[in-house]
Amino acid sequence: MLKNVNFAPETIKHLLSLFIKMNDRLEKSPRIEVVDALRGFAVMAILLVHNLEHFIFPVYPLEPAAWLATLDKIVFDTTFFLFAGKAYAIFALLFGFTFYIQSYNQKIKGKDFGYRFLWRLLLLAGFATLNAAFFPAGDVLMLFVVVGVILFITRHWSDGWVMALAVVCLMQPIELYHFIALKVNPQYMLPDLNVGGMYEEVAQVTKSGDFWDFILCNIGLGQKASFLWAVNAGRMMQTGGLFLLGFLLGRRHLFLGTPENIRFWKRILVIAAIAFIPLYILGIHYAGTEDAALSQVAVIFDMWHKLAFTFVLISGFVLIYYGTAFRNNAGLLRLYGKMSLTNYISQSIIGALIYFPIGLYLAPYCGYTVSLLIGIAVFILQLIFCRYWLSSHKQGPLEAIWHRLTWINS
């Protein structure tokens, strides 16, 4: 029967093409929902912290009522204890995880994602500039662009070598070098990056209320101040370490809800919680020291205790997600995480219009409690938009642009 069937070359080529596409769909790494939810949680926490900071614009009511001042302190202390320096760290770790997913999806097609990733980082620099334009000296995306090169360099390394470099980065080697240099040579001087002076200049431009001066200053001096602050505060090296850890978590498939992975995250929760307590106490002890050498120790313990608590949050989130009914009720948070770039950048634009003189200039009237409520309101509005947008689109608006430009001419 088959000998009478005529398979034209075009037919065979079409069938092969269909087979390859079906195979790609079957083998492509599936979207891991807990990661979307965790990313959504991180971006939500970033939003709340930034609202309390008035997006790095420290203008607040001068004499709030005594009861409100007490409430403001509770709100500030609680929010910063839970999220400051931790939400960004989760965001950074998941950046490395996403790199693994994208690399793997290209690897099964016999392609190297590395150079496409460098192009993707260049595109991210454009989004970073957009974000920085409305966020005075507070953008983190340009830091991701610069440090992200570490993922390109290590993409073919073994797990052992990637882990070793991650540990080196997370040990805060720059601060350790300064500490040793100061102990060995009392005449050694810490580099003066003039971060405080740059922040003051950016603040003065923000207060002027001139829209174009505000935008241009933020894109230039503001970006420089933000990056150098990250160097001074220990975030640059920590970000590299977090990228690599996220890359390894992806390689080991540790975000899947298998019994082995659940046991892994339980161990991480215990270890991180135990480590956090002494690291936090030491961080408090050395904070505010006038001694140059000990100031580097303060930065190290500040980074370490925040890293430990970051893993308390991550492991706790994963365990709650897989172990309770939360998984079935986290749909909106997953949608929020799928549009993380759009939400992150739109937060900055909304914040500028709410708090700064170029907009409503509500900063002088908003203490920490009111600012937190505003942050929650913005979060709810963004959730509503995410649900509306993703009901008819596969990606958020900025995510779609980034994706299309990433794969241009491919």
Residue pLDDT, tens place only, 336-391: 999 999 999 999 999 999 999 999 999 999 999 999 999 999 999 999 999 999 99
Count how many domains the chain has. 1
Cα–Cα dist 228/48, whole Å:
24
Candidates 245, 264, 361; CA nearest to 310 is 245
Tell me, yes or no, if the pTM score tops 0.75: yes
Cα–Cα dist 208/358, whole Å:
8
How much is the pLDDT for 269? 97
Q: Which residues of the chain have pLDDT under 70?
A: 1-30
Candidates 216, 228, 86; CA nearest to 146 is 228
Asked whether residue 326 is assigned to any structural domain, the reply reads yes
How much is the pLDDT for 328? 86
Asked whether residue 307 is assigned to any structural domain, the reply reads yes
Map residue 361 onto helix, strand or coil.
coil
How much is the pLDDT for 137? 81
Asked whether residue 1 is assigned to any structural domain, the reply reads no
Asked whether residue 21 is assigned to any structural domain, the reply reads no
Asked whether residue 215 is assigned to any structural domain, the reply reads yes
**Rounded (5°) CA angle 259-264-270:** 130
How much is the pLDDT for 10? 57
Q: Which domain holds residue 86?
A: 31-406
Asked whether residue 108 is assigned to any structural domain, the reply reads yes
How much is the pLDDT for 290? 87
How much is the pLDDT for 1? 42
DSSP secondary structure letter of residue 6: -
Q: Which residue has the tokens 């991210």?
A: 124
How much is the pLDDT for 409? 83
Asked whether residue 267 is assigned to any structural domain, the reply reads yes
